């Protein structure tokens, strides 16, 4: 039953509308001073505490609700799971920004930059526990199996962040290792967002596994696209300073592919990347990543992961408005410009 583009946009909007009030209700469960910090972080208030319009993407909670509906459930069965995953995701962003000293989050100063590192660490911790608690207080199987999946995924996410931290200081690495790290950092939580949504909707193990694989491949496609935009995206559109990843000497996926290629550009890139970071040479670094084949590889890999995501989706669920929306998301993730 194919549906029109209009109704796909509608289901995405509906999913988002179903999550935000529940997310706000969960955040209201924090102590008053922590709630004020959280409201700023989520983009619901400005630094003075005044209300502003919510503009977040909320990719993960949307996936959770759509996975639930795609297997025959109702949005509301998956709302606690969607909220839990969004809280854990945002907790990891808060800590991530401290680790990377990223001053911007969603086009605004990060919490650590406005309120301090201790506040960012504690708000992250509080959102971690609030997230798990939201799921633990939901009916079974979310409270039992769902909690297990969520905390296991969160642990792998943290281990991925840690691997990334140590990778920056190492010359000896394989592309497989960097890919596994990227999966841990951005694929695992998306995979569980889909799996737990399907669990909430009453799916059997086989369909859950296919939806988990859909989420994992979507996550890899998204990370590849993010990495590409970090080098060749328009800063006015992405909201992030151009070439910042290269300046920080990050081993993003296109860079890792270029560094592990066997050609002259790869060798020149490796020499430059080992030296001190020179803002005047960042464009040259970007050009070498492309010349070594890193850009083409990442573009092709993003497409391949999006295709594989769709194969798993088709294996998991029949055509429906939710399945159509999940299809659209997989197409978008490999083609997006922001």
Residues near a second copy, by CB under 8 A = 30-31, 33-34, 92, 95, 98-99, 117-119, 121-126, 128-130, 132-133, 136-137, 140, 143-144, 147-148, 151-152, 154-155, 158-159, 161-163, 165-166
CA 53 to the chain's CA centroid: 22
Least Cβ distance, residue 284 to a second copy (angstroms): 29
The least CB distance from residue 333 to a second copy, in Å, is 26
Q: Which is nearer to a second copy, 25 or 237 (CB)?
A: 25
Please confirm whether the linkage preceding 141 is cis (ω < 30° from 0): yes
CB nearer a second copy, residue 146 or residue 233: 146
162/314 with CB nearer a second copy: 162
Closest CB 130 distance from a second copy, rounded Å: 6
Q: What is the largest CA-CA distance in the chain?
A: 58
In whole angstroms, the minimum distance from the beta carbon of 47 to a second copy comes to: 16
Q: Is 73 left (phi over 0), alpha (psi -120 to 50) or beta?
A: beta
Nearer to a second copy, 52 or 99 (CB): 99
Nearest approach in angstroms of CB 271 to a second copy is 27
Contact 200, 227 (CB under 8 A): no
**Residue whose CB is less far from a second copy, 34 or 255:** 34
> How far does Cα 66 stand from its chain's mean position?
16
Q: How far is CA 284 from the centre of its chain?
A: 29
Q: How far is the CB of 108 from a second copy (least distance, A)?
A: 21
Q: Which is nearer to a second copy, 62 or 134 (CB)?
A: 134
Distance CA 290, CA 257 (A): 10
Nearer to a second copy, 12 or 122 (CB): 122
> CB of residue 223 vs a second copy: minimum separation in angstroms?
19
């Amino acid at each position: 039953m194919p549906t029109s583009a209009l109704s796909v946009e509608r289901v995405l909007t509906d999913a988002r509308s179903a999550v935000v009030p529940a997310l706000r209700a969960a955040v209201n469960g924090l102590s008053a001073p922590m709630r004020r910090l959280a409201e700023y972080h989520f983009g619901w208030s400005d630094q003075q505490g005044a209300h502003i319009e919510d503009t977040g993407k909320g990719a993960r909670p949307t996936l959770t609700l759509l996975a639930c509906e795609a297997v025959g459930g109702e949005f509301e069965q998956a709302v606690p799971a969607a909220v839990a995953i969004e809280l854990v995701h945002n907790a990891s962003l808060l800590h991530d920004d401290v680790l990377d000293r990223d001053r911007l989050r969603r086009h605004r100063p990060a919490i650590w930059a406005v309120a301090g590192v201790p506040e960012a660490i504690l708000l992250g911790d509080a959102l971690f526990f609030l997230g798990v608690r939201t799921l633990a207080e939901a009916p079974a199987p979310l409270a039992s199996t769902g909690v297990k999946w969520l905390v296991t995924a969160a642990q792998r996410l943290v281990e991925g962040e840690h691997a990334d931290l140590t990778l920056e200081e190492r010359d000896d690495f394989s592309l497989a290792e960097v890919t596994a790290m990227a999966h841990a950092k951005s694929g695992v939580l998306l995979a569980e967002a889909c799996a737990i949504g399907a669990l909430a909707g009453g799916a059997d193990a086989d369909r859950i596994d296919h939806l988990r694989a859909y989420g994992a491949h979507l996550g890899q496609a998204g990370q590849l696209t993010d990495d590409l935009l970090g080098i060749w995206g328009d800063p006015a559109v992405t909201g992030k300073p151009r070439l910042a990843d290269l300046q920080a000497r990050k081993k993003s996926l296109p860079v890792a592919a270029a560094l592990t290629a066997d050609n002259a550009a790869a060798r020149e890139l490796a020499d430059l990347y080992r030296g001190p970071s020179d803002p005047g040479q960042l464009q040259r670094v970007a050009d070498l990543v492309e010349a070594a084949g890193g850009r083409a590889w990442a573009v092709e890999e993003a497409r391949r992961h999006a295709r594989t995501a769709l194969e798993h989706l088709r294996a998991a669920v029949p055509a429906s408005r939710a399945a159509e929306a999940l299809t659209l998301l997989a197409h978008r993730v490999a083609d997006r410009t922001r």
